[in-house]
Amino acid sequence: MDANELLKLSERHPIVLFDGVCNLCDGFVQFVMKRDKTGAFRFAPLQSEAGRVLLRHFNLDENAMDTVVLIENGAIHTKSTAALRTARNIGGVWGLAYAFIILPKFIRNSVYDFIAKNRYRWFGKKDACMIPTPEVRARFLQ
């Protein structure tokens, strides 16, 4: 898919880009999938072709794997904003986490960056990106 097709898809399905070798990031994706009752979200590792196409489109460093990215309705959100907007989209009690959006972005992102900097040490790292099971493969972009 090219950037325009992916952006069009984001109008119906928010797209989450994540570090495919990070155990914490993989846990985040599993968390979202389990709670996304309507199957709205689509996912792609930052390392994938779809991830790289979107990063290039938004002029983000293709080698920077230290952020989760949310693309919804053609707009991009990174770091704490992406995580909080994802929680809001999940809804239910998790949507309440969006209240933290009132904190100044530099504070939210400082906490986010601290966790991102230490995520491999605390949660580990895979040798390769996760391979989705057949049941969820349709929700992953190539």
List per-residue pLDDT tens for the chain, 142 residues long: 788 888 888 889 999 999 988 999 999 999 999 999 889 999 999 999 999 999 999 999 888 888 999 999 999 999 999 999 999 999 889 989 999 999 999 999 999 999 999 999 999 987 766 666 767 777 888 7
Question: What's the one-letter identity of residue 106?
Answer: F
Burial code of 41-59, b = ≥16 C-beta within 10 A, e = fewer? Answer: bbbbbbbbebbbbbbebee
Residues 6+ apart with CB under 8 A from 13: 40, 41, 42
- As a whole number of angstroms, the distance between CA 29 and CA 27 comes to 5
Q: What is the pLDDT of residue 137?
A: 75
Tell me which H or E stretch contains 72: strand 69-72
Instruction: Note the pLDDT of residue 136.
Output: 73
- Give the pLDDT score at 24: 93
pLDDT of residue 130: 64
Residues 6+ apart with CB under 8 A from 52: 46, 62
Which is it for the CA torsion 80, 68, 3, 133, positive or negative? negative
CA proximity to 58, closest of 34, 76, 73, 84: 76
pLDDT at position 52: 92
Domains, the chain, with CATH or none: 3-126 (3.40.30)
Q: What is the pLDDT of residue 7?
A: 86
Confidence at residue 66, expressed as pLDDT on a 0 to 100 scale: 87
What separation in angstroms does the CA of 3 have from each of 9, 26, 128, 133, 136? 10, 24, 24, 25, 22
pTM for the complete prediction? 0.90
Per-residue pLDDT, 127: 73
